[in-house]
Amino acid sequence: MKGRRVAVTGIGVVALAGVGKDAFWKGLTSEAPVGFREIEDWDASPYFDNPKDARRSDRYTQFALAATAEAIEQAGDINVDPARRGTFIGTGIGGIGTLETQIEVRLNKGERRVSPFLVPMMMPNAAPAAVSMRYGWQGPCEATVTACAAGTHAIGNAARAIADGRCDAVIAGGAEAPFTRTAIAGFANMTALSNSGVSRPFDSGRDGFVMAEGCGILILEEWEMAVERGATILGEIMGSASTADAHHITAPAPGGVGAVTCMQLAMEDAGVDPADIVHINAHGTSTDKNDAAEAEAVAKVFGTDGGPLVTSTKGVTGHALGAAGALEAVAVLLAMQHELVPPTAGLIDPDPELPAINIVSGDAAPWVPGPSLSNSFGFGGHNGTIVIGTGA
């Protein structure tokens, strides 16, 4: 990434696999659950001083505040001009839970009973707005809404704001809470969801994605500033790219053309070659067309003779839509910390129709951490890739 280097100094995560980075890592290397990845016992109260404030925040905003609290605590004191501290949080469908609830209120009780907090709770920018207000970060505050690529795009855009000199620190990631009856029905009726409730990325028996919720947050800083204040550097955002398939509203471009270009541009931005990449956290949704297109794209860029270790952590986490890329960026950084690449849970019978890329299955794979890709490919043809380095 041309310009200033971008360090990662904090990580926060909320997911069914684990609330908090330590629990999340344990979940990534444990047996996968079956069914929707919904956090049934979620309690937002620890993250709010006033219970009313919790009730006036959509669930996806609550997730963002919780994950940011953990990331900020790890990063430590970032004492720079508030106007040079930004907030970039992506989402696919924002406060859809609030929207559906208030529609039911209107239909059952009348228009005058609709909450005056409907709009500020449902808007896609509610999460970054709440986070920026909580911490007083007065720089750019933006919501990226690019379907399942939103979290990855938010991190890439945030890193660029630092590299270009606009910001010195940015809270970046993605948040999603999609579990409403209407949203589930919509995905089910488009035959995108798994009937079995098992996420099987790249497996011959894959039958659709398993919907999830959660949030991943990274604290990004200008490298020299992080070094000077004695922060622990967890990794580096080396580069990023964004492309469009311009093909179909839900299906990826045949042959993974857009994904190929996206990965190539991200590596070019990072100043690395395909031979330098040692790990890919794949989008790997467990849908027929996505996994096929991504496997072909990876084979075109990296070949089928060895190549980087590939995993889809969605086998455990499910697909958290706009939060997926952020959760997967967290997974890459934790894989570097633990020197293990989590296996692709659910992959038992690799699809023989797919190119033979180097997918990790069964047990976690030991590795020497190095430049890694995190891919996200969303409905509408949105492609996002970030290059994450160890920061060495």
Q: What is the phi/psi pair of residue 29, to 5°?
A: -110, 20
Q: How far apart are CA 240 and CA 280, in angstroms?
A: 14
Q: Which of 141, 148, 215, 262 is catalytic?
A: 148
Question: 319 an active-site residue?
Answer: yes
Q: Left if phi > 0, otherwise alpha if psi is -120 to 50, otherwise beta: which for 391? A: left
Question: 283 an active-site residue?
Answer: yes
Q: Which of 153, 215, 262, 283 is catalytic?
A: 283
Of 217, 126, 215, the closest CA to residue 175 belongs to: 215
Q: How far apart are CA 318 and CA 315, in angstroms?
A: 6
Of 94, 96, 217, the closest CA to residue 154 belongs to: 217
Q: How far apart are CA 69 and CA 134, in angstroms?
A: 10
| Residue reference for tokens 């937002």 | 44
* 93 contacts: CB under 8 Å, gap ≥ 6: 124, 176, 178, 183, 321, 322
- As a dihedral over the C-alpha atoms of residue 164, residue 6, residue 333, residue 278, rounded to 10 degrees, the angle is 80
Q: Which of 153, 262, 279, 319 is catalytic?
A: 319
- As a dihedral over the C-alpha atoms of residue 218, residue 219, residue 220, residue 223, rounded to 10 degrees, the angle is -130
Strands 214-222 and 309-311: unpaired
Question: 247 an active-site residue?
Answer: no
Contact 387, 270 (CB under 8 A): yes
Distances from the Cα of 105 to the Cα of 113, 117, 119, angstroms = 7, 13, 14
Which positions are catalytic? 148, 283, 319
